[in-house]
Every structure is written in C-alpha cells, then in structure tokens.
C-alpha cells in the first residue's frame, strides 16, 4: 500500500474515531455475521488449547468482535491479533477490544513471526494491500492452519452500493451547495457587521437556489438513505439554518459546513477505494495463486450472497496450509 493510500485510511479512521460513528457499506449484512460465527465456531470446536488468530485489515474490529463472542459462548480462549495500516483504526480496536493485541502495520510487511497463527482472517481488508500480503499471510500461518478471506466482488451487491454512494457524493460536490451556503452565511455576517451590502447578500441568496435544486435532484435519484443518510441530513440542516439564519452564530455555521464537506470528501474517497479494490475472477485468481505458492491448499472460490433482494456480494477465499 502506498503512502497516499495509507494516509487516506488514516484520515478516514481518525474522523471515525472522533465522530464515534462507522458508516459501514454492506458490513452489517446478517450473512456476514452468520459466515463468521460458523467459521469461528468450527475453530473453537476443532482447535485444542489457545487458538491464535490474526485479523488482517481489521478496521474497527467487526470480525474480532464475532470471534470473541464465539470464544465466550464455547468457553474457549482465542488469542487475537488485529493488524491495520491506520493508527486510528488500531486505537479504535484497543478501546473496544482491550484483550486483543493490536498492531499498526501494512499487511504486506507483517512484523510477526513465521508459523505463529492458527488462522488468518480478513473481511474486506487484505485486498486493499499489495499482492505480497498473500505471501505474508502464508508465512505467518502454521502448517495445518487456515485462511478465510471475504473480499470485495466487482459488480456485486456491495460494489453497486459503493458506486451509488460515490455518485451521490459526487452529485453533492457538483451541486456546490455547501460552498454556496457558506458564502451566503458570510454575506449575512458582513451585512450584520456593516461590512457588506444588501445587494451582495441577495446575490448570494439567488446563487444558492440552483444549488438547492441540484441537491434535491441527487436525493430524488438516490433516495434519503444514500450516504448513510448524511446527504439528506445535510440538506435538512441547511434548510433549517436558512430559515432561522439570524439564530445561529455564523462562525459556527461555517465551521459546521466545512466539517461536513470534509467528511463527505473522505467518505467519497473510501467509496472509490472500495470500488478500486474489488476483484473480478482474474484478480481473485491471482490472490489464490500466490497463496498456493505460499504452501496453501486452496478451495475453489465461492460467492457469498448478501442484501435484499439477495445478490452475490463478496468472494469467499479459503485454504489450509500444508504440513511439511
């Protein structure tokens, strides 16, 4: 992963940590939960002693949380290590899962010993890393251990959801609503302080109107739920503040608008990164081949159905490391 990608993820998870909200795309689908509960239950029943588990590209620890719940329910102990390239994501994991070891590193350069883990897992994480992450996953896996990766499927259900969110956020940007609203607030403040003119304020008000129409067109095309509801909330908040502009401190309104604009930009970048990371059959085959070269016997790739109506949404890539 290059430094630009790494910084983009750090920015995303840092904003998430501050806001306390994770705008997931597809990640709360019950099929994902069912898949991991079944997988970790099989680990708990088959493994003896302490199971060592590595969660690659862990994000805020959604998969780790399911592993911990299975371990508790089956009276087993999982020694879990979470790895992510973002310090902010690692901080989130440490806060929410204090019993796990959390490591900030790239998946293609894992600072952990050979043959250390019984299982290496990833949910929509490892495919963001360079292909050498497959070599590293094989290296840290013990003989007889397994990998289980859920990876983004190009043109699948989550891919379509990401594309719709990206397009909606592009529409918000192209509408110019937030900059136009900031200008109107600035002209209102100038008028109040005797620095501006009524004409400049009225022109800013006229300039805002087509931006509002463009935003309404985005909502009409994509619906109020697009962008996790952020697009509609922004539209509704602007409408509220516009009607009662004199009741709000202009500096606070401008700071709010700039914060929302930055959040939308970051989310748009994440949507694009998801689209870019999604794998077709050829790209998935390349990951499978590298894991095979690392000494794993790989299952045939499968697809996990998600959503309502049900559609293929993710690749399932499974394998077991051969004994030497």
Structural domains in the chain, CATH included, are 3-156+278-321 (3.40.50.150), 159-274 (no CATH)
Out of 187-191, 197-201, 251-255, 265-269, pick the least confident: 265-269
Query: Quick one: average pLDDT of 252-263?
Result: 91
pLDDT at residue 10, rounded to an integer? 63
pLDDT at position 112 is 96
End-to-end CA distance of the chain: give it in Å, rounded: 31
Look at residue 26 in the predicted model and tell me its pLDDT: 45
Please report the beta strands in the chain, taking only residues with DSSP state E, as ranges in sequence order.
51-56, 78-84, 101-104, 117-123, 141-152, 296-298, 302-306, 311-321
Beta-bridged to residue 121, according to DSSP, are 55, 148
Mean of pLDDT values over 7-34 = 64
Segment 251-275 shows an average pLDDT of 90
Q: Which two tokens stand for residue 157?
A: 């259900």
Residue 19 has pLDDT above 60, yes or no: no
CB neighbours (10 Å) of residue 48? 6
Query: Which residues have C-beta within 8 Å of that of residue 235, sequence separation ≥ 6?
Result: 177, 215, 216, 219
Q: Tokens 């998969």 appear where?
A: 63
Average pLDDT over residues 52-56: 97
The pTM of this model reads 0.86
- Report the pLDDT value the prediction gives residue 6, as an integer from 0 to 100: 63
Residue of 181, 243, 185, 257 lying closest to 212 (CA atoms)? 181
Residue 83 pLDDT greater than 50, yes or no: yes
Paired strand residues for 298: 319
With 60 as the cut, is the pLDDT of residue 238 above it? yes
Distance of CA 179 to the CA centre of its chain: 26
Mean of pLDDT over the chain: 90
The answer to whether 205 and 184 are in contact (CB under 8 A) is yes
Q: Higher pLDDT residue, 251 or 140? A: 140
Q: Which residue shows structure tokens 């894991």?
A: 291
CA pair distance 206, 264, nearest whole angstrom: 25
Report pLDDT digits (tens) over 198-230.
999 999 999 999 999 999 999 999 999 998 899
Q: Which residue has the higher pLDDT, 261 or 24?
A: 261
pLDDT at 21: 46
β-pair type (141-152, 101-104): unpaired
pLDDT reading at 127 higher than 60: yes
């Amino acid at each position: 992963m290059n430094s630009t990608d790494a910084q983009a993820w750090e920015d995303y998870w840092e904003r998430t940590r501050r806001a306390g909200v994770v705008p997931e795309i597809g990640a709360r689908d019950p099929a994902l939960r069912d898949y991991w509960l079944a997988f970790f239950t099989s680990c708990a029943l088959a493994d003896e002693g302490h199971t060592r588990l590595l969660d690659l590209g862990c994000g805020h620890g959604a998969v780790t949380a399911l592993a911990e719940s299975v371990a508790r329910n089956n009276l087993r102990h999982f020694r879990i290590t979470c790895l992510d390239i973002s310090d902010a994501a690692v901080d989130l994991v440490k806060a929410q899962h204090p019993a796990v070891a959390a490591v900030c590193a790239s998946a293609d350069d894992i600072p952990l010993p050979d043959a250390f883990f019984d299982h290496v897992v990833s949910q929509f994480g490892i495919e963001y890393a360079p292909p050498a992450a497959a070599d590293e996953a094989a290296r840290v896996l013990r003989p007889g251990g397994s990998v289980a990766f859920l990876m983004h499927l190009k043109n699948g259900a989550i891919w379509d959801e990401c594309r719709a969110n990206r397009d909606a956020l592009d529409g918000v940007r192209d509408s110019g609503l937030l900059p136009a609203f900031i200008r109107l607030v600035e002209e209102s403040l100038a008028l109040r302080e005797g620095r501006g003119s009524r004409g400049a304020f009225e022109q800013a008000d006229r300039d805002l109107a087509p931006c509002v129409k463009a935003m309404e067109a985005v909502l009409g095309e994509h619906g109020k739920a697009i962008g996790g509801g952020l697009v509609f909330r922004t539209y509704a908040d602007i409408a509220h503040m516009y009607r009662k502009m004199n009741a709000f401190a202009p500096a606070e309104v401008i700071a709010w608008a700039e914060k929302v604009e930055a959040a939308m930009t970051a989310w748009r970048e994440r949507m694009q990164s998801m689209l870019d990371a999604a794998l077709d059959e050829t790209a998935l085959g390349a990951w499978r081949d590298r894991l095979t070269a690392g000494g794993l016997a790989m299952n045939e790739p499968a697809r996990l159905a998600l959503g309502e109506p049900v559609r293929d949404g993710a690749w399932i890539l499974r394998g077991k490391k051969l004994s030497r």
